[in-house]
Amino acid sequence: MHSILDNRPELKAQIDAVAEVAGYLWMKGWAERNGGNITVNVTEWVDDALRAMPALEEARPIGTVLPKLKGCWFYCKGTGRRMRDLARDPMANGSLIRILDDCASYEIVADRPVLPTSELPSHLNVHDYLIGKGLPYKASLHTHPIELVALTHGRKWLQKDAATRMLWSMIPETKAFCPRGLGMVPYMLPSSVELADATLKTLDEGYDVVMWEKHGVFAVDTDIMNAFDQVDVLNKAAQIYIAAKNMGFEPEGMSAEQMQEMTAAFGLPK
Ligand code: 13P
Ligand code: ZN
């Protein structure tokens, strides 16, 4: 079947990376049924011929006005679609959308009219913010990592930076590869504008990865593989904590001196 990715190797490479990550999410057990979603700002890989293509359907409202997204293009996982299916066939389980000049609506320009994820308000709000800040971040990932979600069922880990401090102290790589820590957003209705606003506020406090209490994580990075890596190292740290607890003791964690030494040696933010 003809695809809009044919003869567009750079755009295809971006979407292949999304498919690769979708496969990892499934294999890790973080993507039950249609759980999780991914969007990538692919504007720089869209050529004039693609820009001139007609939409597959009428324009739909985003639900908010996002001025920085005028003319931007995104690959989005389809709502209700499974990561494990997207891994095999990203254009049957996701689509490209373009943001119209009103900055308040989008059209699907893709192989099939796959409706974008229900978390589109959170994703697009965040992309608008990232562009406004001049950050080179192109990808956002929402997923349901088991151990990180389990942590948010414990009140003490919901306190600001309590989980970050514990996770960083489990293994040195955690702070090295997730140096901005883990922000916390209290429970809110999935796909709501309130959740999108709270996510944005928490990213603005300086985090790249935000926990949605009793739901999942939302991570941003330069590309989708890097966004996945940040969640992967944080969840690994949570698994080490749980493994120690399962052995019947409270894990010691790296000492404050060890953390300071590592922070200085790697040139990490304090
Ligand atoms: P979608 O299938 O609409 O992307 O929703 C999945 C999800 O995880 C909602 O939070
Ligand atoms: Zn979710």
* Mean pLDDT value across residues 248-267: 96
Residue 140 CA, ligand 1 centroid: distance in Å: 13
Q: Which atom of ligand 1 is nearest to the CA of 37?
A: 4
- For the CA atoms of 163, 166, 171, 177, the dihedral, rounded to the nearest 10 degrees, stands at 40
CB under 5 Å of ion ligand 2: residues? 216
DSSP structure class, residue 161: T
Which one is catalytic: 20, 57, 119, 252?
A: 119
Q: Does residue 57 have an active-site annotation?
A: no
* Mean pLDDT value across residues 12-35: 98
Considering only CA atoms, which residue is closest to atom 4 of ligand 1?
117
Residue 31 CA, ligand 1 centroid: distance in Å: 10
pLDDT score for 9: 98
Confidence grade of residue 252 (pLDDT, cut at 50, 70, 90): very high
pLDDT tens sequence across 145-175 = 999 999 999 999 999 999 999 999 999 999 9
Handedness of CA 225, 41, 53, 57 (dihedral sign): positive
Confidence grade of residue 187 (pLDDT, cut at 50, 70, 90): very high
Q: Which atom of ligand 1 is nearest to the CA of 144?
A: 8
Is the pTM higher than 0.95? The answer reads: yes
Ligand with an atom nearest the CA of residue 79: 1
Residue 97 carries which side chain, given as an amino acid letter? I
Q: List the one residue out of 98, 113, 89 whose CA is nearest residue 18.
A: 89
DSSP 184-213: EE----TT-HHHHHHHHHHHHTT-SEEEET
For the Cβ of 114 lying below 6 angstroms from any atom of ligand 1, the answer is no
Cβ atoms of residues 87 and 23 within 8 Å = yes
pLDDT at 270 over 90: no
pLDDT score for 1: 77
Q: List the one residue out of 126, 132, 19 whose CA is nearest residue 62.
A: 126
Q: Which atom of ligand 1 is nearest to the CA of 143?
A: 8
C-alpha span between 270 and 268 (Å, rounded): 6
* Mean pLDDT value across residues 53-80: 97
- Domains, the chain, with CATH or none: 9-266 (3.40.225.10)
Give the mutation target among 117, 185, 192, 194 for probing the ligand 1 site: most ligand atoms within 8 A of CB: 117
Q: Average pLDDT, whole number, for the chain?
A: 97
Residue 195 CA, ligand 2 centroid: distance in Å: 11
pLDDT tens sequence across 135-146 = 999 999 999 999
pLDDT tens sequence across 73-87 = 999 999 999 999 999
In degrees rounded to 5, what are phi and psi of residue 36? Answer: 90, 165
Percentage, residues of the chain above pLDDT 90: 96
pLDDT score for 193: 87
pLDDT score for 81: 98
For the Cβ of 61 lying below 6 angstroms from any atom of ligand 1, the answer is no
pLDDT tens sequence across 99-114 = 999 999 999 999 999 9
C-alpha span between 112 and 96 (Å, rounded): 9
* Mean pLDDT value across residues 242-258: 98
Q: Which of 56-60, 91-95, 193-197, 240-244 has the lowest mean pLDDT?
A: 193-197
Residue 194 carries which side chain, given as an amino acid letter? E
Residue 181 CA, ligand 1 centroid: distance in Å: 24
